[in-house]
Amino acid sequence: MTVRTWLAEPLPRDVAQALERLARATDVAAVAVLPDVHLAEEVCVGVAVATRTRLLPAAIGGDIGCGMEALQFDGNVERLDDGEVRGRLLRDLRRAVPARIRRGPAAALTLPAELDAARLSSPELAKRLARDGRREFATLGRGNHFLELDRDETGALWLSVHSGSRALGPAIGAWHRRRAVRDDAGFEKLAADSDEGRTLLADVDFALRFATASRTAMLQTTSTIVAESLGATPLWPTKIACVHNLVRREEVGGESLWIHRKGAIPAAAGEAGIVPGSMGAPTFHVEGRGCAAALNSSAHGAGRALSRGEAHRRIAPRELLRQMKGIGFDDENAARLVDEAPSAYKDVRAVMRAQRELVRIVRTLVPLLVHKGT
């Protein structure tokens, strides 16, 4: 079993201990530790884990299918320099894309036909989708999820969305973990070629499709708003998409393995990806280099430097306002957004330097306007 690291800073002791425990788990063939790594329940965020015959639900991430999409516009980005335009556009985006749920009898959306609840493996999960899915579809979620308008080095305008499968992903993970067997290191495992393993993979695929369709719906809705507000035209052939909580079978270094990514994006040679910083830091569009030692993976973002509780204790709302100077955001909710302050995250540029072996930077974008849920 091999553990390889690409680090932007020394590992905290609790992270190192969590990784040591992961390395002892049954059937784990390799672990790639990426520079955005930070502590999370059971398996750290910012790792890729390879197994041969077992599936490890804790290494997929709670928000199964979480990922990003980005789209370029042809238009005048300078219009966003006008504070009135920024404020009006932010209000329109918040109305069109709620953070939590769509409210009222008419607010729930009709899900795409391929998201039929009958395709889920249990009545319990189908009931959860029926109860929450239509109200949560095409909504952001809270925490580090966002809609963002950025400018690249050429002055071009980009719209980005970061969201996942909402309540469905954690429900799928919890349901299957109750049916798994713990190994000697304390991790729940399912044999990939068993009925239980195949059922997990089918439900994970459903969550991936739900999350992807949800992001695409948000991008379509908000691209219309941006076009009308700024007189900008969406350039759909430029769309980039990636996922950073998933498991799938891949060929790595001449061996077929189950690659689990929890807060890590696929980065095979030539594969496009998106690595955001905090809401006040740059985002990078990247191309994978196909580093087999890293399980063809890359960091999925800057990674947290402070836990959410610690950020609320240490960062005052006025400090968040200072850090976000010049960037449009929901400043009236600054007290509730301090856990998303730029200083609560690692330096994304240091993260990118630490993984030069893993990805090539295609473009760098700076934030202009950010919609986050509270």
Distance, CA of 288 to CA of 194 (rounded, Å): 33
Radius of gyration (C-alpha) of the chain in whole angstroms = 20
Q: Is 141 left (phi over 0), alpha (psi -120 to 50) or beta?
A: left
Three-state DSSP at 104 gives coil
> How many Cβ atoms sit within 10 Å of the Cβ of residue 14?
11
φ/ψ (deg, to 5) at 44: -60, 150
Is the pLDDT at 202 greater than 90, yes or no? yes
Q: Is 78 left (phi over 0), alpha (psi -120 to 50) or beta?
A: alpha
Distance, CA of 47 to CA of 37 (rounded, Å): 7
357 against 101, higher pLDDT = 357
Render pLDDT for 170-181 as a digit per residue (tens, 0 to 9). 999 999 999 999
Lowest mean pLDDT of 76-90, 248-262, 358-372, name the range.
76-90
What letter does residue 135 receive in the DSSP assignment? H
| Pair 370, 320: CB distance under 8 Å | no
φ/ψ (deg, to 5) at 302: -75, -35
Question: Residue 192 contacts by C-beta under 8 Å, 6 or more apart in sequence?
Answer: 51, 53, 54, 55, 198, 201, 258
* Strand order, beta sheet including 67-74: 233-243, 67-74, 157-163, 146-152, 359-372, 283-288, 272-276
Is the pLDDT at 61 greater than 60, yes or no? yes
What's residue 36's pLDDT?
97
Three-state DSSP at 158 gives strand
Render pLDDT for 148-164 as a digit per residue (tens, 0 to 9). 999 999 999 999 999 99
Mean pLDDT of 188-195: 96
What letter does residue 180 receive in the DSSP assignment? S
Render pLDDT for 68-120 as a digit per residue (tens, 0 to 9). 999 999 988 888 888 889 999 999 999 999 988 887 655 677 889 889 888 99
Distance, CA of 151 to CA of 77 (rounded, Å): 7
Q: Are strands 54-55 and 67-74 parallel, antiparallel or unpaired?
A: unpaired
Distance, CA of 210 to CA of 323 (rounded, Å): 34
| Pair 298, 358: CB distance under 8 Å | yes
Question: Residue 331 contacts by C-beta under 8 Å, 6 or more apart in sequence?
Answer: 321, 324
| DSSP H or E stretch at residue 371 | strand 359-372
What's residue 109's pLDDT?
79
φ/ψ (deg, to 5) at 13: -60, -45
Domains of the chain (ranges, CATH numbers): 2-305+345-372 (3.90.1860.10)
What's residue 106's pLDDT?
53
Long-range pairs for 10-13 at CB < 8 Å and ≥24 separation?
Answer: 11/37, 12/39
Q: Are strands 283-288 and 272-276 parallel, antiparallel or unpaired?
A: antiparallel
Render pLDDT for 292-343 as a digit per residue (tens, 0 to 9). 999 999 999 999 999 999 999 999 999 999 999 999 999 999 999 999 999 9
| Pair 258, 273: CB distance under 8 Å | no
